[in-house]
Amino acid sequence: MDRIIFFDTTLRDGEQSPGASLTSGSKLTIAKQLARLNVDVIEAGFPIASQDDANAVRLVSKEIKGPVISALARCMVLDIETALRSLESAKKPRLHLFLATSEIHRKYKLSKAKDEIIRIARDMVRFAKKFIDDIEFSPEDATRTESDFLLEVCKAVVDEGAKTLNIPDTVGYAVPEEYGTLIRFLRDNLPENIIISVHCHNDLGLAVANSLSAIKNGARQVECTINGIGERAGNASLEEIAMNLVVRKKYYNIDVGLDTSQIYRTSKLVSSLTGIPVQPNKAIVGDNAFRHEAGIHQDGVIKYRRTYEIMHPRMVGIPESTLVLGKHSGRHALKLRLETLGVSVDENALSKIFEQFKKLADKKKEINDLDLLVLAEQETMPVVEPVYKLEYFHIVSGTSTLPSATVRIRKGDRIFEDASLGDGPVDALYRAIDRIVKLSPKLAEYRISAVTGGKDAQGEVMVSLVVDGVNVAGKGVSTDIIEASAISYINAINQYFVKKSIRKKRYRGT
């Protein structure tokens, strides 16, 4: 059976989501999880865009050995050289070149005629081919390009050695039938050994539908992101495409090489590290995706699950919230349960998770799979240096008193303490932290949600801050929501210091 190649661009196009920005450590953490999900290609970044991007591609290339690692470049020599340098230690490197081909881009963005576009595309693929074999070419805004010219460009770059042709619906303008027809036209007119890839944006909400239509018409690589994050309305969502192909296998007749039981974990991780929440009704990974509210539905599911469920939540790794472990459970039981949930950790990480597990078990009698996933996720988060760490806080609040907070924070061996009043307990807390770290972040977003069930649920707080013009995000989880608020804020501030130090290094030319 044919197999579809999953090209994940969460770390590149996904990171282009407004408000999202990932440090290279976070990108590596996501890349490791994408490798567990078993994606075929990871697009790790656009190295010419920034030093951070180049570092991330370098790091992912060095550490991740399973999937192909791809880096994006415009059709320019400096872009290509920078991308190739970043890919140096990749075992299976790929260069992804792009150049706009549509009339509107030719005329207004590039001021170039058709023959110049063909010449540049040819020259740059030929140039890159001297250094790398695996080249993918994207005629940007392909779906608004004249189809005969699109074919001409594709043939030219194939001639020069491009192996994958990606046909982006850059502005999310396509509709499924038309896009399918375009892919069929290209498939029929290009050599069989050339892989046709699709890359759809979601401006009209059709990214997944368009991708599936393309697959039905001969595309064999699909470019997508976790949770569908990306420029503007986002990219086609990996989990939705994957589960369409799995659940409707007889219709699509195509194999998916992913370990779909890693989908939920991947979604959670991407959401926490980017600070972009998943809407509750999002297909596959939304909180409500497998919840049944109406009495008739609940009754049906109890009698026979498949009456209202077309896939089992286990297929995408959503844990069933059964009581699994308690205060007296041992390390071995914890390890086994984590493995069942698809989390494999080394002894060091296990010790840390176990320590947190014991602390949580003192506060919360019943620890379920969701709790465990939250603990595991926190422990496998990238370590951010320098680390400000919450040591202690004390809040005074109530209807007849002005809220105040005292906070103690550790940085290495040093302890800092300060206090502040505020409009509310969280405001007082954040003001006290600001005094300690000597910053005035703008709180762009503050979100709180219960991540596990029951009154003693763990609360998750996600904050997005703008610090000195830099966007950062942080997450904190605790059974105490004020503590979760403090941790998320401090994590975001730590991220700011990492970004700042990367910028400084670049300035010094290192």
- Phi, psi of 355, deg, nearest 5: -60, -45
Stretch that binds ligand KIV, among 162-170, 205-213, 308-316, 320-328 (CB under 6 A): 162-170
| Choice between 83 and 367, CB closer to Zn ion | 83
Distance CA 290, CA 371 (A): 18
8 touching Zn ion, by CB under 5 A:
no
Q: Where are the beta strands (DSSP E) in 453-493?
A: 459-467, 470-478
**Tokens in use for 220?**
């064999």
**Cα 339 → chain centroid:** 23
- Phi, psi of 344, deg, nearest 5: -105, 125
Distance CA 449, CA 421 (A): 25
Distance CA 110, CA 239 (A): 35
Q: Are 40 and 69 in contact (CB under 8 A)?
A: no
Strands 221-224 and 3-8: parallel
29 touching ligand KIV, by CB under 6 A:
no
Half-sphere exposure of 434 (CA within 13 A, CB side): 18
Stretch that binds ligand KIV, among 166-174, 322-330, 367-375, 450-458 (CB under 6 A): 166-174
Shortest reach from residue 218's CB to Zn ion, in Å: 21
| Choice between 105 and 337, CB closer to ligand KIV | 105
With contacts defined by CB under 5 A, how many residues of the chain interact with Zn ion?
A: 1
| Choice between 190 and 502, CB closer to ligand KIV | 190
Q: Are 202 and 214 in contact (CB under 8 A)?
A: no
Shortest reach from residue 81's CB to ligand KIV, in Å: 18
Binder of ligand KIV out of 40, 79, 140, 483 (CB under 6 A): 140
Stretch that binds Zn ion, among 7-15, 93-101, 212-220, 466-474 (CB under 5 A): 7-15
Shortest reach from residue 36's CB to ligand KIV, in Å: 25
168 touching ligand KIV, by CB under 6 A:
yes
Binder of ligand KIV out of 24, 33, 102, 170 (CB under 6 A): 170
Q: What is the largest CA-CA distance in the chain?
A: 77
15 touching ligand KIV, by CB under 6 A:
no
Per-residue binding letters, 71-100, with ligand KIV (x by CB under 6 A): -x-------------------------x--
- The string of DSSP codes covering 58-69 is HHHHHH--SSEE
| Per-residue exposure over 183-209, b if at least 16 CB sit within 10 Å of its own CB, e if not | bbbbbeebeeebbbbbbbbbbeebbbb
105 touching ligand KIV, by CB under 6 A:
no
199 touching ligand KIV, by CB under 6 A:
yes
Binder of Zn ion out of 8, 13, 15, 152 (CB under 5 A): 13
| Choice between 232 and 306, CB closer to Zn ion | 232
Distance CA 28, CA 46 (A): 15
In the complex, which residues of this chain contact Zn ion (CB under 5 A)?
13
